[in-house]
Amino acid sequence: MRTFVSVAFLLCILIIACSQTSTSDSNVIYQKDSILENIFSLKDSVVIDIQPFDDVSEKLVNGVMIDLKKIYPYVELKKSVAIPKQAYYAPRNRYKADSLLIFLLKNTEKHHVVIGLTSKDISTTKGDVLDWGVMGLGFCPGNSCVVSTFRLNKSNISEQLFKTCIHELGHTQGIGHCPDKGCFMRDAEGENPTDEEKYFCHKCKAVLVSKGWIF
């Protein structure tokens, strides 16, 4: 009950739907810049902080850092931390991604974007479903997102993790879900279509290039 109340309170305060929001948007929270004092200006270059939780493989974390630096120049790796107990959802043995976003946000400097990495199963609220499992969740725009390896294909987990990370980071840069099925910003719609994603479409790429991403 405590988890339900905290999630409901969080959603009431932070989630503001915009014209791009649809019921299938299960890994993005749209919000206005004025909601949080710590939110960055989209006109500014930001630093991407990789914040691993201590349950995720160090090898996977380092791989993400190396790959991100190939397309964005300002990336920092933070020391791993314990996943917060208050985010745990005992009925499903999961962690609430919404709570993880707030935890990450509290420790993020202005003009930084943080991406949390975990191996734990994570979930969010989608429509009438209180506990919808997701691969990742991010504010759009905003400066925190989180990605889990739990639902990724273990045979090519490094590639899928990187694609999921740039998807969630794309949300923080103000990009919603893309109708192009080959774009990294497509909506997963409850599945894992990561292997079908091959590129950023022209429109999504243009937004990221304007913010200093390199392709």
pLDDT of residue 140: 96
Confidence band for 16, pLDDT divided at 50, 70 and 90 = very low
Residue with tokens 């974390």: 61
Residue 69 tokens, joined: 């630096």
Residue 43 tokens, joined: 């006109």
pLDDT at 15 over 90: no
Residue 160 tokens, joined: 């899928």
Question: Domain spans of the chain?
Answer: 2-17+27-210
pLDDT of residue 44: 58
Instruction: Report phi then psi at 208, rounded to 5.
Output: -70, -40
Q: Among 58, 168, 189, 196, which one carries the catalytic annotation?
A: 168
Residue 67 tokens, joined: 């790959």
Taking CA atoms, 176 is separated from 117, 148, 207, in Å, by 21, 19, 11
**CATH code for residues 2-17+27-210:** 3.40.390.10
Residue with tokens 């390896």: 149
**Which tens digits make up the pLDDT trace of 161-195?**
999 999 999 999 999 999 999 999 999 998 999 99
pLDDT of residue 25: 52
Q: Residue 168 catalytic?
A: yes
Confidence band for 137, pLDDT divided at 50, 70 and 90 = very high
pLDDT of residue 37: 37
pLDDT of residue 2: 44
Beta bridge partners of 123: 96, 133
Stretch 94-112: mean pLDDT = 95
pLDDT of residue 121: 98
pLDDT at 3 over 90: no
Confidence band for 107, pLDDT divided at 50, 70 and 90 = confident
Question: pTM, whole model, 2 decimals?
Answer: 0.82
Is 144 within 8 Å of 114 (Cβ atoms)? yes
**C-alpha angle with apex 33: 77 to 141, nearest 5 degrees?**
50
pLDDT of residue 134: 96
